[in-house]
Chain A
Amino acid sequence: MKNLSAFGAGLLFGIGLWLSGMANPQKVLDFLDVAGNWDPSLLLVMGGAVAVTAVAFRPLLKRQKMSFRKDIDVPLLAGAALFGIGWGIGGYCPGPALTALANLSTEVFVFVAAMVAGGLLARIWPSSGPGR
């Protein structure tokens, strides 16, 4: 059942990515390109998603014993900066890249393979996380 619900969550998450335009790297880059023909849509994607989690997470997290890091350290900031640079070059963050595997395009296969390799490379650094 746990795996079935995880599949359902992934399915809904993926539909959200396509509907919102996040799965379209061109649209993502149009959002990041503030000096060009700026497309603010992705602010609303994040806004719409956070509006839901901000309301519903609190009671759920109270019931579950989960611990989250609170410190703001160098790996967090350096990792976020490197991720942002890669996002700004390719237009894909992890979720959209995975759901875009359905494009069956060389571009996405190469991106996802490199993304997995990058994650394995980073294992030699101390990992941090918001919970996974």
Chain B
Amino acid sequence: MDNFTPVSALAGGALIGLASVWLLAANGRIAGVSGILHGLFAQPPGDRLWRAAFVAGLIVAGFAWHFLAGGFPSREIGLGWVAAAGLLVGFGTRLGGGCTSGHGVCGLGRFSLRSLAAVIVFMAAGMAATFVVRHLL
């Protein structure tokens, strides 16, 4: 556990929570990133702008972090694996109606049993998939 970073994890988590509260208070929206993204491609045009603005904020945050603190080292992973992972994440979050933010941060914050069930399942599935990829393949 030499890679354990409790302070930045808690502080970063709190910022994510604050951002979710902000979006709910100011926009009346749930900060579920998969829902916001999928809605960009599904909703009537009038509903797209705030979604695009949120996603733009996420991306600008990435550039700001690179500028101020530097990025993370890249890794060796085949693009076929990356594409498969992206497809599964996109399909699964749309089918299941949420991801780590919508079901996790926001759903658990509402004490939703439906979201808790989703969180338990995607955590378990993620651990199983990582075990297979890192230890069996």
Contacts and interface: CB of A to CB of B under 8 A. Distances in A.
A36 B16 CA distance: 27
B114 A19 contact: no
Contacts, number: 511
Contact of A17 (B16, B25, B71, B104): B16
Contacts of A103: 62, 66, 71-72, 74
Interface in B37-70: 37-39, 41-42, 49-51, 53-66, 69
Consensus secondary structure, chain B interface: helix
A21 B60 contact: no
Consensus secondary structure, chain A interface: helix
Indicate the size class of the contact surface on chain A. Answer: 35 or more
Indicate the size class of the contact surface on chain B. Answer: 35 or more
A86 B89 contact: yes
Contacts of B118: 76-77, 79-80
Contacts of B56: 7, 10
Given A9-B57, A19-B8, A130-B97, 4 more contacts: A15-B61, A16-B14, A111-B82, A115-B90
